[in-house]
């Protein structure tokens, strides 16, 4: 077996891995880089030239893992893509939405290669998608078998173990070991005799504060919402359409049920609505903390679409859970914020990661009264509203991920999907805990024999 990484291991974006198993190659994920545009946002699929790719594994449906699957399938039209049932539904919706976004960006930013694929290509690709259950070993070729386990990151996310001629390699994808509000934590039972593990390192540089608990963080969020409403303002919670939206809406429903916040209108907008519909469809078929809860059915939500009617404007005493989580230009949360930031009665509550260069990232780094640019075509706005930040990460605490690596017993450990400081922490800790294992930060395109 031979492993190579087709993405920069020190970045979170355009995830793509390859594992050569004899005469054929298994590819794990093929994402789109969120900070780049055009061909630069793609993994270098050309490095697979000369390879026989018959099997592709999709660990989950976030764009940085699924965003160029149709392009990869076009290069290898005979390949089948293996994923879980929920990922099938979510990825299909995500890719169709991506076509729309790329088409708009192609016109507005003059990117001639956009869209990288069409709606028709997505529909053709789906014909080669194979839905699989967790915890079942299945054959993808006479010499290669796969085993998927629940990664707990978002609905449908999985780890993937590849078996070939007596050797086993575990790809973690993105993992959350702890129960979230809606989705249960990972159900991973590492085989202590792994030959290699390719693992994410996202939170390696982010130690938990002493005494941190998710329950405590939820209580802090409920208090911020309650206080913001009490002072006569509106609440804006920017959310990623898939995963974070559904977790936050579930929290709000629970807050209302026990009287932690008043029963006020809650707005949802953007791609979030479509993704929530899919989450509800699988409510009884996925591992959940609240298995019978259906968000759109059980919550009286106000649904908005920025393409229809008048723009959504903040109303005092109401909550707005709007995508995107990074408040990227021309998304519902970004457009809404133009009428929101300058009012000191309002509260802007962040519940997830934001790239420092994104509008949300810039707001997080700003001080009250600073001018914020939400859109390069418009004048900056003063940041007068209250801003607070909460930790509801979909990624495992670094200590839990470290344990997964140790329990795998892997002879070689490849550190990916994290910045330099994150990888340094894991390299140091694993070198101590697993002195007989080789800890590797893979270089893009370099081959590693397993």
Distance CA 75, CA 120 (A): 16
In 3D, which of 156, 150, 154, 351 has the Cα closest to residue 243? 154
- φ/ψ of 236, rounded to 5, equals -115, 125
Identify the residue whose tokens are 């800890």: 439
Q: What is the pLDDT of residue 376?
A: 84
DSSP-derived 3-state class of residue 428: helix
How much is the average pLDDT of 331-352?
96
Total residue count of the chain as it appears in this document: 450
* Percent of the chain that is helix, strand, coil (3-state, to 5): 30, 20, 50
Instruction: Tell me the pLDDT tens digit for each residue of 223-265.
Output: 999 999 999 999 999 999 999 999 999 999 999 999 999 999 9
Residues 109-165 have pLDDT tens digits of 999 999 999 999 999 999 999 999 999 999 999 999 999 999 999 999 999 999 999
Q: Is the pLDDT confidence value at 306 over 60?
A: no
| Sheet (strand 266-269) strand order | 301-304, 266-269, 319-322, 235-238, 347-350, 386-389
The CATH classification of domain 2-206+394-449, taken from the options 1.10.10.60, 3.30.300.30, 2.30.30.110, 3.60.15.10:
3.60.15.10
**Domain 214-389 of CATH type 3.10.20.340:** no
State the pairing for strand pair 158-164/167-171.
antiparallel
- Could you tell me which of 169, 274, 257, 186 has the C-alpha nearest to residue 218? 257
Picking from 440, 424, 444, 360, the residue whose alpha carbon sits closest to that of residue 34 is: 360
pLDDT value, residue 190: 84
124, two tokens: 């053709």
Measure the CA–CA gap between 328 and 323, rounded to whole angstroms.
Answer: 9
At residue 144, what are phi and psi to the nearest 5 degrees?
-130, 130
The confidence score (pLDDT) of residue 269 equals 82
pLDDT tens, 184-227?
999 998 889 999 999 999 999 999 999 999 999 999 999 999 99
Centroid of chain to Cα 438: 28
Measured CA to CA, the distance from residue 201 to residue 398 in angstroms comes to: 7
pLDDT of the residue at 308: 55
């Amino acid at each position: 077996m031979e492993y190579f990484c087709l993405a920069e291991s020190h970045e979170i974006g355009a995830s793509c891995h390859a594992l050569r198993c004899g005469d054929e190659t298994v590819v794990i994920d093929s994402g789109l880089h969120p900070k780049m545009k055009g061909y630069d946002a793609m993994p270098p699929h050309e490095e697979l030239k000369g390879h026989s790719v018959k099997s592709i594994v999709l660990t989950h449906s976030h764009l940085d893992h699924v965003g160029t699957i149709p392009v990869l399938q076009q290069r290898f039209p005979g390949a089948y893509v293996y994923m879980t049932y929920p990922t099938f539904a979510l990825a299909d919706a995500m890719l169709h939405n991506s076509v729309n976004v790329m088409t708009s960006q192609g016109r507005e930013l003059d990117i001639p290669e956009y869209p990288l694929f069409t709606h028709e290509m997505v529909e053709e690709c789906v014909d080669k998608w194979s839905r699989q259950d967790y915890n079942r070993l299945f054959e993808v070729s006479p010499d290669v078998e796969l085993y998927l386990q629940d990664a707990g990151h978002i609905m449908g996310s999985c780890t993937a173990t590849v078996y070939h001629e007596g050797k086993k390699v575990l790809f973690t994808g993105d993992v959350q070991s702890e129960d979230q509000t809606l989705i249960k934590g990972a159900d991973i039972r590492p085989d202590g005799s792994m030959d290699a593990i390719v693992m994410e390192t996202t939170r390696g540089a982010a130690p938990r504060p002493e005494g941190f608990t998710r329950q405590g963080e939820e209580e802090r969020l409920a208090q911020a919402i309650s206080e913001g409403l009490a002072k006569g303002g509106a609440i804006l919670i920017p959310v990623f359409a898939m995963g974070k939206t559904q977790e936050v809406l579930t929290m709000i429903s629970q807050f209302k049920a026990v009287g932690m916040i008043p029963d006020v209108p809650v707005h949802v907008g953007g791609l979030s609505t479509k993704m929530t519909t899919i989450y509800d469809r699988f409510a009884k078929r996925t591992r959940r903390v609240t298995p019978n809860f259906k968000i759109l059915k059980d919550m009286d939500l106000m649904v908005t679409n920025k393409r229809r009617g008048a723009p959504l404007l903040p109303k005092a005493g109401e909550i707005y859970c709007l995508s995107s989580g990074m408040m990227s230009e021309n998304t519902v949360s970004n457009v809404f914020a133009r009428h929101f930031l300058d009012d000191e009665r309002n509260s802007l509550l962040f519940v997830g990661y934001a790239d420092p260069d994104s509008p949300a990232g810039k707001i997080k780094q700003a001080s009250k009264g600073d001018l914020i640019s939400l859109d390069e075509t418009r004048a900056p706005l003063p940041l007068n509203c209250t801003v607070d930040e909460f930790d509801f990460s979909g990624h495992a605490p670094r200590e839990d991920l470290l344990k997964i690596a140790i329990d795998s017993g892997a002879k070689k450990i490849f550190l990916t999907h994290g910045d330099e400081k994150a990888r340094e922490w894991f390299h140091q800790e694993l070198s101590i805990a697993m002195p007989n294992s080789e800890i590797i930060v893979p270089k893009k395109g370099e081959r590693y024999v397993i």
